[in-house]
Amino acid sequence: MNRQSAKTPRREPEEELDDLAHRVIGAAIEVHTVLGPGHLESAYEKALAIEFGERGIPFERQKPFQVKYKGRPVVEGRLDFLVAGRLVVEIKAADRLAPVHKAQVISYLKATGHHLGLLMNFNEVLLPDGLQRVVLS
């Protein structure tokens, strides 16, 4: 790596990932517009999968991952969505988001090695009020 590239980090992956996050948020807003608040989390999960498909957003639903302790697997976890192999999406249908929900996304990011997650609570009058962008630094 030359000196110039060490000073100027590559931004293309971040911009691409940010664009992907915006596309996912657009899909979630469409789901929320059609269904509104008050349904079970599973309804939003299934509807979001349909919307991702319609928009050509690549995703894996209920993606398994290993939680490790000192390098040894202790339990298998599941991501609600892994979008394009890079973006963790966790959905909720709760009265409000609690700090534990964000901690859950941070734990998922650490366990999977991904750097960006979206936490979405569909039980809000306006979906943007229930969105959190979680970055693992």
Strands (E), 47-135: 59-69, 72-83, 87-92, 116-121, 131-135
- 56 vs 135: CA distance, rounded Å: 24
Judging by DSSP bridges, how do beta strands 116-121 and 59-69 pair with one another?
unpaired
Q: What are the tens digits of pLDDT across the range 26-71?
A: 999 999 999 999 999 999 999 999 999 999 999 999 999 999 999 9
| pTM score | 0.87
Is residue 25 within 8 A of residue 131, CB to CB? The reply is: yes
Alpha helices in 1-137 (DSSP H): 3-7, 12-35, 41-55, 99-112
Domain extent at residue 127: 3-135
The number of folded domains in the chain is 1
Residue reference for tokens 């009020």: 129
Residue 7 reports pLDDT greater than 60: no
| Helix axis angle, 41-55 to 12-35, nearest 10° | 120
